[in-house]
């Protein structure tokens, strides 16, 4: 088990607590394995009726995967074939699938930062999942900002968001709060951070079989406190601009709109990797026609191609390692991105019978 993952059982509820605060609980391979081990054990344990995942830090549930690890290993193996890197993504995506289809209530306390890989461990399936946000929640799928793409099932849950909201979130990588998370359908209940101690007491004292209902009852009086959704107020604008036929057309549409919301989205997209925005766009289009397992298998192939390409290495270098915030994207402009470049990311890496996620 990882030193950064604490597990215990209270009143028939399995409680997972992430404890890597200095890294905002960024996931290492050991953490992925510890989470998987606990969830598999509790899935088969008749003495455990529900699972809660939380954090020791009020700053984050989980900020994503350990991108410094991606950078170090990816640089050492520029073809993207490191065994450690392969294991990380295979096991992380298998964990995402396990969580999505977990047969017992899976409750995520999404206080603080929940981004990238953090979304993958928070987005439980619609039948048994319960996702709680607070006023401190900062949610995003910001991968295009580091030359990656929305993975950990993002091709599924973003492509199934209402209207063009998923395309907006995937292409801009912008952060949303509690009200927007609820509006998009990426959260289920709002609890103010001042009430988290009461929430934890409820978790400890309530029989697990009754826990989802008890949490919803605790949250109900605070529904009005979450405030208005910015995405809801700009829904017509989002659906109009992000219905354009290509990433370039989305940018042109936004450029014609001088409202602050449109200009913020435009400015964000101009900083992102042109190539990976186009890959993301294709990923979401394909994901809309796939089930969860199909999306994760697709992402597993695309992430290998991503590291072979090297765009993610440059993105992490610029934003995390050297922190010069001047990534040298290749190609540097959308006009130079070709359909062939995008298609290469979707070329099969393995035959179907050998795909590392073939058993999902």
| Torsion 310-314-317-322 (CA) sign | positive
What one-character-per-residue DSSP string does 278-313 give? HHHHHHHHHHTTS-HHHHHHHHHHHHHHHHHHTHHH
State pLDDT tens for residues 112-122: 999 999 999 99
Catalytic residue IDs: 65, 117, 143, 151
pLDDT band at 80 (very low <50, low <70, confident <90, very high): low
β-strand pairing of 13-18 with 5-10: antiparallel
What mean pLDDT comes out for the span 167-196?
97
Supply the pTM of this predicted model.
Answer: 0.95
Question: Residue 76 pLDDT > 80, yes or no?
Answer: no
Number of Cβ within 10 Å of residue 343's Cβ equals 11
Evaluate whether 124 touches 99 at the Cβ level (below 8 Å).
yes
Alpha helices in the chain (DSSP H): 29-43, 67-76, 83-100, 117-120, 154-157, 165-172, 178-184, 196-205, 211-219, 230-233, 235-241, 247-255, 260-271, 274-287, 292-309, 311-316, 339-344
Q: How far apart are CA 255 and CA 336, in angstroms?
A: 19
State pLDDT tens for residues 85-106: 999 999 999 999 999 999 999 9
CA distances from 203 to 48, 196, 255 (A): 13, 10, 48
Q: How far apart are CA 135 and CA 226, in angstroms?
A: 7
Helix axes 83-100, 292-309, angle to 10 degrees: 160
Question: Residue 302 pLDDT > 90, yes or no?
Answer: yes
pLDDT of residue 204: 92
Question: Residue 78 pLDDT > 70, yes or no?
Answer: no
Question: Residue 81 pLDDT > 70, yes or no?
Answer: no
Question: Residue 215 pLDDT > 90, yes or no?
Answer: yes
Spell out the residues 6+ positions from residue 224 whose beta carbon is closer than 8 angstroms to its own. none
What mean pLDDT comes out for the span 104-132?
91
CA distances from 327 to 72, 100, 212 (A): 17, 34, 44
Query: Which class is domain 5-354?
Result: alpha beta
pLDDT of residue 79: 59
Sheet holding 60-62, edge to edge: 60-62, 113-115, 138-140
State pLDDT tens for residues 9-68: 999 999 999 999 999 999 999 999 999 999 999 999 999 999 999 999 999 999 999 888
Q: How far apart are CA 318 and CA 95, in angstroms?
A: 29
154-172 burial: b if 16+ Cβ within 10 Å, else e: bbbbbbebebbbbbbbbbb
CA distances from 273 to 29, 144, 241, 315, 318 (A): 26, 6, 19, 8, 12
What mean pLDDT comes out for the span 305-325?
93
Q: Where are the domains of the chain?
A: 5-354
Q: How far apart are CA 297 and CA 360, in angstroms?
A: 8
Q: How far apart are CA 172 and CA 264, in angstroms?
A: 9
Angle at 183 between CA 285 and CA 191, to 5 degrees: 135
Evaluate whether 119 touches 139 at the Cβ level (below 8 Å).
yes
């Amino acid at each position: 088990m990882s030193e950064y993952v604490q597990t215990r059982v209270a009143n028939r509820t399995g409680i997972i607590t992430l404890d890597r605060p200095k890294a905002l609980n960024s996931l290492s391979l050991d953490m992925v394995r510890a989470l998987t081990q606990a969830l598999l054990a509790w899935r088969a344990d008749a003495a455990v009726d529900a699972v809660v995942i939380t954090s020791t830090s009020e700053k984050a549930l989980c900020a994503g995967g350990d991108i410094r690890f991606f950078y170090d290993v990816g640089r050492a193996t520029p073809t993207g074939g490191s065994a450690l890197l392969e294991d990380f993504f295979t096991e992380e995506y298998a964990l995402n699938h396990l969580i999505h289809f977990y047969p017992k209530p899976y409750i995520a306390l999404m206080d603080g930062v929940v981004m990238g890989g953090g979304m993958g461990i928070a987005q439980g399936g619609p039948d048994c999942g319960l996702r709680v946000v607070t006023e401190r929640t900062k949610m995003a799928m910001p991968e295009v900002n580091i030359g990656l793409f929305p993975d950990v099932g993002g091709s599924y849950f973003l492509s199934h968001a209402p209207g063009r909201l998923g395309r907006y979130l995937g292409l801009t990588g912008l952060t949303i709060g509690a009200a927007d998370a609820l509006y998009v359908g990426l959260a289920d209940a709002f609890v103010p951070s001042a009430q988290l101690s009461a929430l934890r007491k409820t978790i400890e004292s309530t029989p697990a079989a009754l826990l989802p209902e008890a949490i919803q009852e605790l949250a109900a009086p605070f529904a009005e406190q979450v405030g208005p959704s910015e995405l809801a107020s700009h829904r017509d604008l989002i659906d109009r601009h992000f219905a354009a036929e290509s990433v370039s057309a989305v940018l042109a549409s936004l450029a014609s709109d001088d409202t602050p919301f449109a200009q913020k989205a435009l400015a964000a997209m101009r900083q992102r990797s042109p190539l990976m925005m186009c890959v993301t766009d294709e990923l979401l289009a394909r994901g809309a026609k796939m089930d969860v397992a199909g999306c994760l298998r697709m992402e597993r192939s695309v992430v290998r191609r991503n590291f072979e390409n090297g765009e993610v290495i440059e993105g992490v270098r610029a934003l995390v390692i050297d922190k010069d915030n001047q990534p040298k994207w290749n190609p540097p402009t959308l006009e130079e991105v070709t359909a062939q470049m995008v298609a290469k990311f979707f070329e099969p890496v393995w035959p179907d019978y050998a795909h590392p996620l073939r058993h999902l």
